[in-house]
A = this chain, B = another copy of it.
């Protein structure tokens, strides 16, 4: 079952305006930069970037390109803004957010991780204590007022819990260290983070891998993402980058 594609156009085929794309990685680590470049090249718009913890702050050049091209309709994240308020307020990304031209929807990181997992694992909804006592228990946190929805809460074992729903992106962009031909993946160190759970959650999972090996080369007891979750794999070079962009 060969999942290797040989050019970037093929890798991002079928992604249309309005698609929701999960973007793997955590700040600078494990971000699928080459696939982001491919989607910039492709020029599709009205995209929802479903992130986990600021991968676009890590891939800041790609973010700036997408903002300039006005490709982004919405970002879902737990840490979507530059850490420095001063840096943020000067940045075109945050300015589009402040102008309501990009929607930013925020969840606690663990809740967001769990929403992707629920989407991948066929769990339509779950109760979490995270955010109880905070604004999160009352409303969706978004800069587009009309999209703020009231949250359902319930007391379970003396703890107020928030009902959250599964999140199932159309596509996932995944950065892996190694893939075999059948899409079994290994990640490296903290570049793992959101990549496995997003690979599980998306309808079509597209992987950029630094290394590609034949099936049987990876230890079957040490595979992080089984190939059943992966639809396409493309080999990319290992490129170095600056890890501090926040």
A→B interface (CB under 8 Å):
114, 118, 121-129, 156-157, 159, 161, 165, 186-189, 192, 219-222
Quick one: which of B114, B129, B221 contacts A188, CB cutoff 8 A? B221
- The answer to whether B186 and A221 touch across the interface, beta carbons within 8 angstroms, is yes
CA distance A192 to B226 in the complex (A): 15
Distance in Å: Cβ of A217 to nearest Cβ of chain B: 14
Q: In the complex, what distance in Å separates the CA atom of A118 from the CA atom of B128?
A: 10
**Which residues of B lie under 8 Å from residue A219 when comparing CB positions?**
222
Selected contact of A221 from candidates B121, B124, B187, CB within 8 Å: B187
8 A/B residue pairs, CB under 8 Å, sorted by A? A114-B121, A123-B126, A124-B128, A124-B129, A156-B165, A186-B221, A188-B221, A219-B222
For the complex formed, measure the closest distance between the CB of A169 and the CB atoms of chain B, giving whole angstroms: 16
* A92–chain B nearest beta-carbon distance, Å: 37
Best-surrounded residue of A121, A125, A186, A188 (most CB of chain B within 10 A): A125
Q: Is the CB of A221 within 8 A of B222?
A: yes
Residue of B with least CB distance to A177? B221
Q: In the complex, which of the residues B114, B187, B189 contacts A123, with contact meaning CB atoms closer than 8 Å?
A: B114
User: Given A221-B186, A221-B189, does the pair A161, B125 have CB atoms closer than 8 Å?
Assistant: yes
Contacts of A157 in B (CB 8 A): 124
Bound complex: CA A124 to CA B158 (Å): 11
Query: With a CB–CB cut-off of 8 A, which chain B residues contact A165?
Result: 156
Contacts of A186 in B (CB 8 A): 221
In the complex, A188 Cα to B220 Cα: how many Å?
10
* B127 pairs with A122, CB closer than 8 A: no
Chain B residues, CB < 8 A from A114: 121, 123
Cα distance A126–B161 in the bound complex, in angstroms? 11
- Are A156 and B222 touching (Cβ within 8 A)? no
Query: What is the distance, in angstroms, from A194's C-beta to the closest C-beta of chain B?
Result: 16
Q: Looking at the complex, which one of B124, B156, B189 makes contact with A124 (CB distance below 8 Å)?
A: B156
The 6 A-B pairs of least Cβ separation, nearest first, read A222-B222, A126-B126, A124-B156, A125-B127, A124-B127, A123-B126
